[in-house]
Structure 1
């Protein structure tokens, strides 16, 4: 697929896709006309990159861990310094906290929807589950 289709399917501007290529995060084949061509797996790869960037990881760390996200998992991180490992541990812990918060919020919304759909009066709608709520 060409860069325009990849941009549309991933919601990622073309400029960012070219930047990801410059950073070695994605690979594009070049046609004889010089146009970039991406395979289907690049859609998932770009989504992974976006998710990791949204989680706060810098591209230099993303470049190192991307090979670990493929299957089969052949882990080879020659530049895995103690600092990189510590940064990854912090990000993993931060993601775990966010997942917990999102799960609690999702469950509270599901509870609310269940009660509303059953037609219970508003006063009967329970509060969010313990620990639920925006953090």
Structure 2
């Protein structure tokens, strides 16, 4: 199914290339703006997300964009979990240098995921701040922890 999808996307992009460039650039700028202003936790993993799935309309809402990026993050986490199982197996015909390169690549991906997850803890959500009636600058770490932990 994904092979068919990729073939159709490639063919359509070739045919509509001129028209899509402007829209893709605007969509990419929208993602960059959203990540830098509202959701910095996605910054470390943007480079690892599938570009074809990040082709968005520039007028997409913040909610829909956050959902899209979160879905891509979940897919990336699943891929890394699967890859982690494979990394544990040193192939009989695999050279130590090849294994080292494979392990290094895997650890770089894991590090990006960890950075993304730590970003969730460092930046309280705007909606949470608005809900509790405080600006982001007045939150203490203890308050953020207590609000997330609940009663």
TM class, shorter-length: 0.3 to 0.5
TM (normalized to structure 1)?
0.35
Structure with higher Rg: it is: 1
* Relative contact order, higher structure (CA 8 A, sep 6+): 2
